[in-house]
Amino acid sequence: MRNLLISLAFLVALGWSSPAQSHIGCGPKEDILRLLEKYEETTVYTAIDHHENLVIVTASQSGTWTILIRGVEDITTLCIVMYGKDFNPSGDRT
């Protein structure tokens, strides 16, 4: 699982240059955290990308997941980079 999450976070970080470039949306940290609570997602992985942004991966027991970025310049804003369903921490799809 750790290798899968590291690979996923690395791929996101490679194409990322700033939170303002989010393809899905950015908002106040409190609003984004409330949205994650709605889907009962909790943090499963964090990392620092090559621009020193914080990369956060969240997931729920029901399988929803989200990848977020928090920039160095503005720690009060979170950006949703990707989200989906069917999160499987083992990476096994059989």
Considering only CA atoms, which of 75, 34, 78 is closest in space to residue 56?
78
> Would you give per-residue pLDDT tens digits along the chain (94 residues)?
555 454 455 444 444 444 444 458 899 999 999 999 999 999 999 999 999 999 999 999 999 999 999 988 899 999 999 999 998 877 666 5
Say what the pLDDT of residue 2 is.
52
Say what the pLDDT of residue 23 is.
55
pTM beyond cutoff 0.85: no
CA–CA separation, 79 vs 22, rounded Å? 6
Say what the pLDDT of residue 83 is.
93
Using DSSP, state whether 11 is helix, strand or coil.
Answer: helix
